[in-house]
Amino acid sequence: MAVSVAREKEIGTITNFYVTPTSRIEFLVGKQLVYIAITLLNFAILTALVVTVLDVPLRGDPMTLVFGALLYAVAATGYGLIVSTLASTQVTAVFAAAILSVMPTLQFSGMITPVSSLEGAAHIMGTL
């Protein structure tokens, strides 16, 4: 998702959008819905694989699991969409998405510094 709008800017096809009657919100939601659908399809395939092939029982409410997957898909693709709209090239979008997601993950996961030694807001984020 992080390269979708940046690619359009880079190759110049985003100018076609300017002459269409769609609004910016419609354009961005239309871009995001495709990636959400692909994410949910992958989720369904992997869940079926885990339950059938690996015999992992599905406990709890399946609708809660699907809602969580939907929420994750919207958040992840939304993050990529924000990065893509701010970046001017595809390379910038990829690097920005990677750095902006990996750095906080490493910082607050306890991999570099133990979460118990973090203080204040950093400790709260690491705990969450």
In order along the chain (128 residues), what is the average pLDDT of each group of 10 residues?
Answer: 83 81 86 93 96 92 95 92 88 89 83 82 82
Q: Give the pLDDT score at 18.
A: 78
Q: Give the pLDDT score at 106.
A: 83
Quote the CA–CA distance of 94 and 42 in Å, as a whole number.
Answer: 22
Tell me how far apart the terminal alpha carbons of the chain are, to the nearest angstrom.
26
Tell me the two tokens of residue 4.
């979708």
Q: Give the pLDDT score at 61.
A: 92
Tokens 């090239």 appear where?
89
Q: Give the pLDDT score at 13.
A: 81
Phi, psi (rounded to 5 degrees) for 110: 95, 5
